[in-house]
Amino acid sequence: MKRLGSFLLYLSLALVAIFQIFPIVWLFLFSLKDNREIFSGDPFALPSQFRWENYTKVWEGGIGIYFWNSVWITALAILFTVLFASMATFAITRMKWKLSKLVLGLCMVGMMIPIHSSIIPLFKMFLNVNLIDSPWSIVITYTAYNLPITIMILLGFYYTLPREIEEAAIIDGCSVPQMFFRIILPMTIPVMSTTVIINMIYNWNEFVFVNTFISSDHYKTLTVGIQNFIGQYMTDWGAIGATLVISVLPILLAFIFFSNKVVEGLSSSAVKG
C-alpha cells in the first residue's frame, strides 16, 4: 500500500507538471509557424519548418527597446526594494526603539491597499513633480508597492538570527552600518533570493502603472509595448507568438535557476527559533 500510495502521488505530480508545461511548449511551437500552419494544420503538430525569422522580425521591429526597458526598470526597482526592505527589517527586528511595532504595522497596512485605488493620487503626485512619462515614476511605484510583502518575507528570517553574532561584532568595534552590510546582509542571501524572484515576477508582468504613467514608446516596458506589436503584426500570428515567448522567457529561466533558493528562503523565513 505504501508503494501504491507513492506511485499515485508521483503520477499525480507528473500529470500536474504536464498540464503546467504544455501551454509553454505549445506557445513555443506556435511561434515557429506561419499563418497557413496555424489555421489549416493541426494546432498541436510540430511546424513543418522552424521559422526562427519570426523572432528576428519582432526583435528588429523594435521589441528590443521594450525588453531592455523591462530589464533595467525591473532590476533597479528590485535593488531599491530589497535594500530598503532589508534596512527596515533590520531596524524593526534587531534594534530597540519605541515606534518599531507601529512602523511594522504601517508597513503591513500597505499590503491592504488595492492598486487601482491609488492610481489617481499617484498620477496627480507624479504630475506635480514632473515625473509623468518618466521611468522613475515606475521605479518608485514598484519599490513602494513591493516593500510590504518583501518586509513580511524577511521578518521571519531576521528573527532567527542569533544575537550573539551582533554582540561579537559590537565587541570587535563594528558600527551599526558596518554590522548590517558586512555581517547581517550576507547572512540573509537565501531569503533575499526569494524576495528577488517575487519582486521580479511582479515588476516584469506589471501592466497598469506603466500604461497609466508612461505614454512615450521610448520608455514603455514589454507588457505594454507588446500591444503595439499585436496591432502591428495582427495578420502574422507567428510573430505575435514569438513576442509572447520573449516576454515569458526571462521569468521562466529565472524561476528554473533559482527555484531551490525560493523554497529555501520561504522555509527558512517560516521557522522562528
Looking up residue 135, the CATH number of its domain turns out to be 1.10.3720.10
Residue 194 lies in a domain: yes
pLDDT, residue 273, reads 42
If one counts every other C-beta atom within 10 angstroms of the C-beta of residue 222, the result is 27
The answer to whether residue 210 is domain-embedded is yes
Count the Cβ atoms, other than its own, within 10 Å of residue 194. 23
Which range has the worst mean pLDDT, 34-43, 118-127, 128-137? 34-43
What domain range includes position 239? 60-269
What percentage of the chain exceeds 90 in pLDDT?
A: 24
- What are the pLDDT digits (tens) for 54-75? 888 888 877 888 999 999 999 9
Percent with pLDDT over 70 in the chain: 92
Residue 6 within any structural domain of the chain: no
pLDDT > 90? residue 80: yes
Instruction: Return the minimum-mean-pLDDT range out of 11-15, 93-97, 206-210, 245-249.
Output: 93-97
Q: Does a structural domain hold residue 28?
A: no
Residues 182-220: tens digit of each pLDDT:
888 888 888 888 898 889 989 998 988 999 999 888 888
49 belongs to a structural domain: no
- The pLDDT assigned to 197 comes to 87
Contact 89, 187 (CB under 8 A): no
**CB-neighbour burial class of residue 188 (10 A; exposed 0-12, middle 13-18, buried 19+):** buried
> How large is the greatest C-alpha to C-alpha distance in the chain, in angstroms?
75
Is it the case that residue 260 has pLDDT exceeding 50?
yes
CB 133 within 8 A of CB 219: yes
| Mean pLDDT (the chain, rounded) | 85
- Tell whether 47 is covered by a domain: no
Residue 52 belongs to some domain of the structure: no
- 8 part of a folded domain: no
Contact status, residue 103 vs residue 92, Cβ threshold 8 Å = yes
The CA distance from 154 to 39, in Å, is 49
What total number of domains does the chain contain?
1
